[in-house]
Amino acid sequence: MKQLLASLFLMLTPIVMADVATCPVSGEKLGEMGSPVSIDYQGKKVSFCCEGCIAKFQKDPAKYLGKTPATPKP
């Protein structure tokens, strides 16, 4: 039972964190520069502050992946 609860917590944590997420490239809080934009990266939703940050991310995803959690796709 403890393992099940821990698994559920880990599954839901990125979703909650997405509400206060920052752009993994610029570090800007999402929504401060307009509506955030998102892409699907390896089955996960990753949100950015603008299209320019998506281009930078796609050139070197590993550089930015540790900065913010990706949100599981619904």
Tell me which DSSP letter residue 61 carries: H
34: left (phi over 0), alpha (psi -120 to 50) or beta: left
Rounded CA separation 15/36 (Å): 15
Instruction: Name which residue leads in pLDDT, 73 or 33.
Output: 33
Sign of the dihedral defined by the CA atoms of residues 68, 29, 6, 73, in that order = negative
* pLDDT tens, residue by residue, 30-51: 988 889 999 999 998 999 999 9
d(CA 72, CA 28): 21
pLDDT at res. 18: 44
Query: Which of the 8 DSSP states describes residue 69?
Result: P
Least confident window among 17-21, 49-53, 58-62 = 17-21
